[in-house]
Chain A
Amino acid sequence: GGIITQTPKFLIGQEGQKLTLKCQQNFNHDTMYWYRQDSGKGLRLIYYSITENDLQKGDLSEGYDASREKKSSFSLTVTSAQKNEMAVFLCASNTGYQDTQYFGPGTRLLVL
């Protein structure tokens, strides 16, 4: 078994601020993902990475940057926080194509 940890659990920022969310997994998975979940809605893919130093854009990548410097970690940066970005950001990982994705507990973002 393994676990995905996301830090921080809650992130409060000011409009226009640059904010970074972190994700760590100890599954030894190759692929990692960042999703955004708006209240009451489904998940939308922001970025994913199939290996260290790889980055692939999802459908919602505008306004975000990502970084995969180690196999076990994947960071997401909100480049300029906007009030309509209040959401939960979920990190996930798996071995890749067709494998089950395992999800972290999420980071809840609040922009004042």
Chain B
Amino acid sequence: AQSVDQPDAHVTLSEGASLELRCSYSYSAAPYLFWYVQYPGQSLQFLLKYITGDTVVKGTKGFEAEFRKSNSSFNLKKSPAHWSDSAKYFCALGNQGGSAKLIFGEGTKLTVSS
């Protein structure tokens, strides 16, 4: 069965620090992976995705993520963090089998204090 785990429900850090939000997945074959962001009161916005190829992918708003097959992870990174990055971040998993379905993690709420 496929699953996505975002182990940190909340992350708090100071503006200017480096942020890394964790995402691990369970899937027996090659995955494709997304990160989305949800600002308070808003819907989800796309940040970046990994399909194949380069394991470090760059996205919008200065974010990047690294796909690591060895430990089934796809962590989101940004440095430095800004107070405007405060939001909820979702990791999502798709499979290479042709299905359009995504499985979403429960999200990590990020608070960046100024």
Which residues in A have some Cβ–Cβ distance to B below 8 Å?
A: 31, 33, 35, 41-45, 48, 50, 58, 90, 92, 94, 96-106
Contact = CB atoms under 8 A, between A and B. Distances in A.
Nearest to A97: B100
Given A98-B32, A103-B36, A103-B44, 13 more contacts: A33-B100, A42-B104, A42-B105, A42-B106, A94-B100, A97-B99, A98-B51, A100-B46, A100-B49, A101-B46, A102-B46, A105-B42, A105-B43
Interface of B: 32, 34, 36, 42-46, 49, 51, 90, 94, 98-107
B15 to A, nearest CB: 24
A97 B100 CA distance: 4
Contacts, number: 49
Q: Which 3 residue pairs are nearest across A and B when measured between Cβ atoms? A: A42-B106, A43-B104, A42-B104
A86 to B, nearest CB: 16
A45 B101 contact: yes
A60 to B, nearest CB: 12
Contacts of A58: 101
Contacts of B104: 35, 42-44
A1 B101 CA distance: 23
8 contacts: A41-B106, A42-B104, A43-B104, A50-B100, A58-B101, A98-B32, A100-B34, A103-B43
B46 A43 contact: no
